[in-house]
A and B are shown apart, each in its own frame.
Chain A
Amino acid sequence: MVLTNTRTLVLIIPHWRVIAAGAAHDHLAAVVNKDRVVDVTPDGAEFGITPGTPRREAQKLCADLKIIDDDEERNVRKFNSVVASLESVTPRIEITTGGWCSFPTRGPSRYFGGDQALARVVAERTLKALSATLKTTEVPSVFQPRIGVADSRFAAVLAATSERFSRVQVVVPEGSAAFLAPFPVDVLASKYSPLPEAEELVDVFRRLGLKTLEDIGSLPSEELLARFGSPGLLAQQLAQGIDGRASLLRSISDVVSEESEINPPADHVETAVFVAKALADRIHQHLAIEGSVCVRILIEVESEHGDVSSRLWRHEHRFTPAGITDRVRWQLEGWYRSENPPTGPLSLVRLTVDETVPDSGQQLGFWGEKIVNDELAMRSFVRIQGLLGPDSVTVVQRGGGRRLVDIEQRVPLVATRLDPDQVMTLPESTTAPWPGRLPAPLPLAVLPQAQQLEVTDGNGRRVGVNGRGQVEADPVRIQSDSLGSHLIIGWGGPWLLDEKWWDPAMKSRQARFQFLLADGTSHLCVIENGEWWLEASYE
């Protein structure tokens, strides 16, 4: 396994959530997420309130405390001006979340004359953007940006965030392991650590008498792997100044990218987000089949007039389709509120995978086995996958689109890290934001591939729909290979898929019909470009 490190600069603005929430440094305020404090002003901290304190306790400790609800969209949006100010330093800024971004130093460092000089430039520009955000000439010292530069991203983050060091901390090349050695193992479980849910692991380390990163780093790797599995190995790599989870080097032909036109171009962010969700699902599936996960993604959105919004996003652990979709939304909300919003409706979304790492969770245990029968079920699915292939067992996941078949997506089981007890909120079938909604109730049998159909009038001629959206003759008979030939005894429609059907420039006319047949069956059919298709049946 090739372990490649990229020398990285990490920028962190402390108390970003408080800043984004609009609280000043001398206010008494705390930002709360799900009833726990996630950020608190320095004055608030004096009352003993820290991140992790439950909301009620915080209010008891300080009655005058102003509680603000956390909003990830706000956190990211307000960070835009800072990111914009750094785009002249490097085109490759990666945003992890509001107040936290990073980029590889190689090019910019050479350009500005070394890491220290680069860091100073970054600090200056960030300060300038920050004072504009805070509307003050002097940025209070607690809010001032902190910068770390190191061979490994983890070391750079620790260099930036550790109170022990000055605001700009450059770790010498090859010096990361020595730099990291004295840190306590607790840092492996901090919010900046790429190890997910590491509290238990860190707990065990401590009980075994391993107190610092040096202690972890010096253990024999095979024993660590045997005892703790891949999280243990990753912990060791991090401790040694290696970023671990080596990114898979992809060749140009391997690039995973999905794009989609938005037709008709959208004025609403949610329509573009809906389109992006389907792309995100496809990318996720594609990567899952090859056993990797995306940790960095490039999101590009274009408007009909050619404006482009392009941003790199990074996730410390892994991007889920929902995570990618959220970032599309945040990016678009930020774009619309920025100084250069799009000048026309949105017409294209493109997602390009920028960095992947191998997924180490592709085994039996990745469900958490909360219930014994989950484990038994998983065993049988694994056996079936052994017989038929990895995509043979699928589960339900919603996609986006106008056609029923686009929404009814099945995803291979291996592509999901399903927690079966996590509530899967499927969107209401009638409130999807795309045009051409189906009347309820929905048909239960949706054909994976629409089947050709013939619908004829009383004279045996094919029934068509005219330019005014009306049938040219009453449909009387339906005929297809799978259904046979049947008389129609009831019908409804047309329901037009396309709201601009009257536009002469739009060559396709699409309309849906329901047909009740003499044999008692009922079906949902589509006419498109004069051809009939069977889409679904009300079985």
Chain B
Amino acid sequence: MQNASVGGSLGNDIHQVASPLVLARHRTFPVVDELAGLFTDRGIRQGSTIEVTGVASLSLASALTISVSRSGSWVGAVGLPMLGSSAASDLGIKFSRWAFIDHPGDQVGAVIQALMAGVDLILIGPDIKLRPDHGRKIVALMRERGASIITVGRAALCNLRPDLCLRVSQAAWSGIGWGHGHLLSRKIEIEVVGRGADSNLRRELVWLPDKEGRLNTVDQSNEPANLLQSACRMQKVSPDIGEQVLQAS
């Protein structure tokens, strides 16, 4: 706070005191076409937090990074020691600019702050917890630097408020039976809810993965409303199991 007696110099100092706040609102990171429909701006807004929950959350969260990983930007993955590069590469992710910090321990706040300064997209794993003060600091840094965060699991665990929530509401595998076949492809339904202007609920169906391990659009023309009927063909169900439950929690 400037003292009134040196008010004369305040005008000159104002540019140093108030650093320009760059609004990242209109700049986005690219996402693959198959997922672009989930976003109003057809991309991930810079400086935003996205939460991904539900059964295929790791796959979906990873799939959100495909385009960024192919565009020369950096991705940092915190607390994801189990992310398999073979499956992820089949999805389309390019790992040349991916760095993993698998076990940040209790320094996770400092680690994410450090990442903010250098990478564009940060993936945070389901077991990572942040303190409220770290969460606030990180949000401020995100706005300033334009980096975005994708949490696998609830963002609230990291004391972050999500700008967009993607929830896998239904998931159905094809190809596996009872004692024969194998997991061939999975169709998922994604529910999207945003904040403010985005607060309408949207839904989208995708293959994640399809038979080749890739993310793919679903041919909507002959899709019944209920996913259960279309996707999984269970040839034989053990008589001991009374219900066929395929709906994700």
Is the C-beta of B132 less than 8 angstroms from some C-beta in chain A? no
- B117 CB contacts on chain A under 8 angstroms: 376, 379-380, 383
Are B97 and A404 neighbours in the complex by a CB distance under 8 Å? no
B238 touches A398 (CB 8 A): no
Given A380-B117, A380-B119, A424-B95, are A373 and B74 neighbors across the interface (CB < 8 Å)?
A: yes
- Distance in angstroms between the alpha carbons of A351 and B38 in the assembled complex: 51
Q: Is the CB of A384 within 8 A of B115?
A: yes
* CB of A443, distance to nearest CB on chain B (Å): 6
B87 A442 Cβ-Cβ under 8 A: yes
| Cβ contact within 8 Å between A444 and B102 | no
B114 lies within 8 A of chain A by Cβ: yes
Q: How far is the CA of A381 from the CA of B100 in the complex (A)?
A: 10
Whole-angstrom CA separation of A443 from B208 in the bound complex: 11
Interface set, chain A 519-539, CB cutoff 8 A to B: 519-522, 536-539
Q: Given known contacts A377-B74, A380-B117, A426-B86, is B107 in contact with A396 (CB within 8 Å)?
A: no
Kindly report which residue of chain A lies nearest to residue B85, judged by CB atoms. Answer: A396
Closest residue of chain A to B54 (Cβ to Cβ) is: A520
0/1 interface trace, chain A 359-376, chain B, CB 8 Å (1 if under)? 000000000000101101
User: Using a Cβ cutoff of 8 Å, how many contacts connect chains A and B?
Assistant: 199
8 Å CB contact of B100 from A394, A407, A424, A487: A394
Is B245 engaged at the interface, CB distance under 8 Å to the other chain? yes
Q: A429 to chain B: which residues have CB within 8 Å?
A: 86-87, 89-90, 213
Query: Inside 8 A of B99's CB, which chain A residues have their CB?
Result: 377, 381, 393-395, 413
Which residues of A are found within 8 Å of B186, using beta-carbon distances?
538
Q: Please, which residues of chain B bring their CB within 8 A of the CB of A410?
A: 81, 100, 102
Whether the Cβ atoms of A396 and B58 lie closer than 8 Å is no
Residue among A445, A458, A514 with max Cβ neighbours from chain B (10 Å): A445
The interface bits of chain A over 499-530 (1 if a CB of B lies within 8 angstroms of the residue's CB, else 0) are 00000000000000010101111100000000
Q: B62 at interface (Cβ–Cβ under 8 A)?
A: yes
**Would A458 and B183 count as touching, CB distance under 8 A?**
no
**B58 and A539 within 8 A (CB):** yes
Does A448 make an interface contact (CB < 8 A)?
Answer: yes
Segment of B1-9, B23-31, B173-181, B191-199 engaged in the interface with chain A:
B173-181
**Inter-subunit contact B103/A392 (CB<8 Å):** yes
Contacts A441-B87, A445-B58 given; indicate if A490 touches B176 (C-beta within 8 A): yes
- Report chain B residues within 8 Å CB of A376: 117-118
Q: Tell whether, in the assembled complex, residue B95 and residue A384 are in contact, meaning their CB atoms are under 8 Å apart.
A: no
Please measure, in the bound complex, the distance between the C-alpha atom of A444 and the C-alpha atom of B118, giving whole angstroms: 26
A420 touches B179 (CB 8 A): no
B166 to chain A minimum Cβ distance, whole angstroms, is 14
Give the distance in Å from the alpha carbon of A94 to the alpha carbon of B119 in the complex.
Answer: 44
Q: Which of B85, B120, B182 contacts A439 (CB 8 A)?
A: B182
Q: What is the size, in residues, of chain A's interface with B at 8 Å between Cβ atoms?
A: 62
Mask for B39-62, Cβ within 8 A of A = 1, else 0?
A: 000000000000000011111001
Query: Across the interface, which residues of B come within 8 angstroms of A335, CB to CB?
Result: none
CA A520 – CA B232 in complex, angstroms? 12
Contacts of B234 in A (CB 8 A): 489-490
Interface string of A130-146 (1 = CB under 8 A from B): 00000000000000000
Is B86 within 8 A of A373, CB to CB?
no
Q: In the complex the two chains form, is B58's CB within 8 Å of A489's CB? A: no
B84 with A446: CB separation less than 8 A: yes
* B246 touches A (CB below 8 Å): yes
B119 with A377: CB separation less than 8 A? yes
Q: B101 in the interface, Cβ–Cβ < 8 Å?
A: yes
Q: Which residue of chain A has its CB nearest to the CB of B182? A: A492
Nearest CB in chain B to that of A404: its residue: B84
Known contacts A377-B99, A408-B86, A446-B84; is A387 also within 8 Å of B55 by CB? no
CA distance A413 to B184 in the complex (A): 35
Instruction: Please pick, from B74, B114, B241, the residue contacting A387 in the complex, using a CB distance under 8 A.
Output: B114
Q: Given the complex of chains A and B, what is the CA–CA distance between A537 and B56 in angstroms?
A: 10
A418: nearest chain-B partner, CB-CB: B96
Let me know if B185 is at the binding interface, CB within 8 A. Answer: yes
A257 to chain B, nearest CB (A): 28
With the chains together, A536 CA to B83 CA distance in Å? Answer: 10
With A394-B102, A539-B56: A522-B82 Cβ-Cβ less than 8 Å: no
Nearest Cβ on chain B to A365's Cβ, whole angstroms: 15
Fill in one digit per residue for B218-249: 1 if any A CB lies within 8 Å of its CB, else 0: 00000000000000101001101101111111
- Chain A hits for B238, CB < 8 A: 458, 474, 476
Is B66 positioned at the interface, with any CB of A under 8 Å from its CB? no
Closest to A439 in B: B182
Is A489 within 8 A of B179, CB to CB?
Answer: no
Q: A446-B84, A489-B241 are in contact. Are A388 and B105 (CB under 8 A)?
A: yes
Assess whether B140 is interfacial by the CB under 8 Å rule: no
> Would you call B245 and A443 a contact (CB within 8 A)?
no
26 A–B contacts from the bound complex (CB under 8 Å): A373-B73, A377-B74, A381-B99, A384-B115, A387-B110, A388-B104, A393-B99, A393-B101, A394-B99, A410-B102, A421-B96, A426-B86, A429-B87, A429-B89, A444-B62, A444-B84, A445-B84, A447-B82, A448-B81, A458-B238, A474-B178, A487-B241, A489-B244, A520-B245, A538-B186, A539-B55
Which residues of A line the B interface, CB within 8 A? Answer: 371, 373-374, 376-381, 383-384, 387-388, 392-396, 398, 404, 407-408, 410, 413, 418, 420-422, 424, 426, 429, 439-448, 458, 471, 474, 476, 487, 489-493, 514, 516, 518-522, 536-539
